[in-house]
Amino acid sequence: MRTRSNVRDHEPARSATALRHFEARLSFEADCADVYADMLAGVQGFTLLDTRSPTHYAAGHIPGALNLPHRRLDRDSLDLLGVPEDDLLVTYCAGPHCNASTRGAVRAAALGRAVKEMPGGLVGWEAEGFPVATGDEPQSLASMVRLGR
């Protein structure tokens, strides 16, 4: 007699269905390590948005990220920040327990903007050992890495 399995309680999806699902997830998400590598390499064409409050941003944020609380994300605020119209927006917030990045991604998509969410947020970024900036300004990631922070 086979022991009941929580893992196999539901049959896994067929390979073709699983492929579509996981490929689609990559269209919606960018992980911390990929964002870090691209930022460090100076890859252009995306803007990292911290969708938390200015207070939380100042306490600690990803270097190079712009602060744009999800409730304020609109065309005017993106224009004021100088975000190019054709940039991919990558939203993040505190971490898995926070949905500000999802709310920001919804607002960006409603504006017709290309957007991905960074799962894990700041918690995931820090867990990877990547540097964190403080203050009101988006310090350069490359300069922080050069300084050994």
Selected catalytic residue, list 32, 65, 93, 105 = 93
Both tokens assigned to 142:
């490359």
> If 0-12 CB within 10 Å is exposed, 13-18 middle and 19+ buried, where does residue 55 land?
exposed
Q: 104 near 49, Cβ under 8 Å?
A: yes
Among 115, 111, 70, 63, CA closest to 93: 70
For residues 120 and 23, give the distance between their C-alpha atoms in angstroms, rounded to a whole number.
Answer: 19
Please confirm, yes or no, whether 32 is among the known catalytic residues.
no
Active site residues: 93
